[in-house]
Amino acid sequence: MDPHITEWLNLAIRWVHMITGVAWIGASFYFVWLENHLDRRNPREGLSGDLWAIHGGGIYHLEKYKLAPPKMPEQLHWFKWEAYATWMTGILLLAVVYYLNAELFLIAPGSDLSPTTAIAIGVATLVAGWFIYDLLCDSPLGKQPALLGAVLFVLIIAAAWGLSQVFSGRGAFIHVGALIGTIMVGNVFRVIMPAQRALVAAIEAGKEPDPALPAKGLLRSRHNNYFTLPVLFIMISNHFPSTYGNEFNWAVLAGLAVLSVLVRHYFNTRHASQNFAWTIPVAALGMVCLAFITSPAKTDSEAMTQEVTIQQVQEIITERCTSCHSANPTSTMFTSAPAGVILDNASQIKTLAPKIYLQTVASKTMPLGNMTQMTQQERDLIGVWISQNKSE
Ligand code: HEC
């Protein structure tokens, strides 16, 4: 497809994806907050609590019923389209960015996987992921939430590891994000909404609602709550090559997931107690540790003895990068320099040296998909040139 058209498709879908995602997660955070802050001391008859709030210049009074008001209101607001729209735009975006240009963004550089097979693996991961998750929740394991949580964590990280064997780092990360996102929307569509519909139907029919219904939705809601922060990281992870570009990218992802789940736990419990306040400094310390662990290895000192000139570097860049990163790219996949990075002359290369280092030496995320077959020697040479010019 014409790269200009895919860029605008990407823009339009990504924008809607972000808007609906903000609406979904925003509403979800708000209702968790609401639930945690209800004043339950002296509830009116039939209520479990209430809450006063001020926002946008108005004062609000919210009341939560133990089950339902004596007569159902004419208009009851449901929250589902935010979730469905986020998922649908997410899948479209996955297709436009990763599936239309599978060789560039999805397939591991150097792998001989065909685009069709790679896409099939991606889609199968999402479908199988949902069914395995759903079965596990409905199995006896569902009665032991902590154990179930641990099993899910291990399975998701195993999926991250497996995907990183066949996909590029970015491709693997985005599929883990899409997998978790699919589970979250599946929970809304297949469990939470049906449970709520059954509850409302029972009340309207004047029947005693099945007490198992809210409990069923609760486990899934709780999962969704803890999934949000890891998913949000994954969605912005393509800006951070030291995460997805790391040799052990799946372990880096596991580390970030643990830290973010801890932080979410603090926010879920902080109203009741400050017992988990330690998670905040621990998460911050964990981030520092991860930054340290992922820091690139020093260029070895033997190689340092050779003098590398800018001419040598420019030759490499011209051969391996400027088909895309030029004021006039020759690659048919780009009509303008990707990410605005233009490497046509020595002064542009010097200015962008730190970024070039991050993308090609510290992580091997550029050339994208290693389409231009850059060699390890060339990466080392650029690394030496950069470290020599740093010490000057
Ligand atoms: C096949 C095309 C292609 C080739 C070849 C290529 N790149 Fe890129 N590069 C891209 C694309 C696409 C992006 C934007 C990535 C994104 O969407 O996040 C990018 C982004 C970048 C960025 C900006 C990253 C950021 O967001 O800060 C740098 C720096 C970069 N490339 C350096 C290089 C270097 C150095 C080479 C050669 C060793 C190279 N690229 C080869 C396609 C390419």
pLDDT given at position 218 = 87
The structure tokens listed for 52 are 């006063």
The structure tokens listed for 282 are 């621990």
Q: Does residue 311 carry a pLDDT above 90?
A: yes
The structure tokens listed for 219 are 């486990």
Q: By C-alpha distance, which of 247, 221, 252 is closest to 234?
A: 252
Q: Does residue 305 carry a pLDDT above 80?
A: no
pLDDT tens digits for range 150-174: 999 999 999 999 999 999 999 999 9
How many whole angstroms separate alpha carbon 325 and alpha carbon 336? Answer: 8
Q: Are 360 and 341 in contact (CB under 8 A)?
A: no
pLDDT given at position 204 = 87
pLDDT given at position 252 = 97
How many whole angstroms separate alpha carbon 320 and alpha carbon 376? Answer: 12
- Exposed e or buried b per residue across 339-370, where buried means at least 16 C-beta atoms within 10 angstroms of its C-beta: eebbbbeeebbeebbeebbbbbbbbbbbbbbb
Distances in whole angstroms, Cα of residue 113 to Cα of each of 64, 108, 178, 310, 368: 54, 8, 21, 36, 16
Residue having the nearest C-alpha atom to atom 13 of ligand 1 = 338
pLDDT tens digits for range 37-93: 999 999 999 899 999 999 999 999 999 998 888 888 999 999 999 999 999 999 999
pLDDT given at position 96 = 96
Question: Which residue did the predictor score with more confidence, 342 or 208?
Answer: 342
365 C-alpha to ligand 1 centroid (Å): 8
Q: Which atom of ligand 1 is nearest to the CA of 321?
A: 37
Q: Are 38 and 48 in contact (CB under 8 A)?
A: yes
pLDDT tens digits for range 169-212: 999 999 999 999 999 999 999 999 999 999 899 888 888 878 77
pLDDT given at position 66 = 87
pLDDT given at position 97 = 95
pLDDT given at position 216 = 79
Residues 6+ apart with CB under 8 A from 299: 361, 380, 383, 384, 387
- Exposed e or buried b per residue across 302-332, where buried means at least 16 C-beta atoms within 10 angstroms of its C-beta: eeeeeebeeebbbebbeebbbbbbbeebebe
Once rounded to an integer, what is the mean pLDDT over residues 268-284?
A: 94
Q: Are 255 and 278 in contact (CB under 8 A)?
A: no
Residue recorded with tokens 């569902």: 142
296 C-alpha to ligand 1 centroid (Å): 19
Q: Are 322 and 343 in contact (CB under 8 A)?
A: yes
How many whole angstroms separate alpha carbon 30 and alpha carbon 23? Answer: 10
Residue recorded with tokens 């000192």: 301
Residues 6+ apart with CB under 8 A from 155: 132
Q: Does residue 17 carry a pLDDT above 80?
A: yes
pLDDT band at 375 (very low <50, low <70, confident <90, very high): very high
Once rounded to an integer, what is the mean pLDDT over residues 320-332?
A: 94
Pocket of ligand 1 (CB under 6 A): 104, 238, 317, 320-321, 323-325, 331, 338-339, 341, 352, 355-356, 359-360, 366-368, 371-372, 374
pLDDT given at position 333 = 86
Q: By C-alpha distance, which of 278, 254, 276 is closest to 265?
A: 276
Residue having the nearest C-alpha atom to atom 7 of ligand 1 = 367
Cβ neighbours of 5 (radius 10 Å): 11
pLDDT given at position 25 = 96
Once rounded to an integer, what is the mean pLDDT over residues 137-156?
A: 95
The structure tokens listed for 376 are 């390890």
Q: Are 369 and 103 in contact (CB under 8 A)?
A: yes
71 C-alpha to ligand 1 centroid (Å): 60
* Identity of residue 199: L
Q: Does residue 1 carry a pLDDT above 90?
A: no
The conformational region for residue 232 under phi > 0 = left, psi -120 to 50 = alpha, else beta, is: alpha
For 316, what's the count of Cα atoms within 13 Å in the CB-facing half-sphere?
22
How many whole angstroms separate alpha carbon 319 and alpha carbon 97? Answer: 25
347 C-alpha to ligand 1 centroid (Å): 18
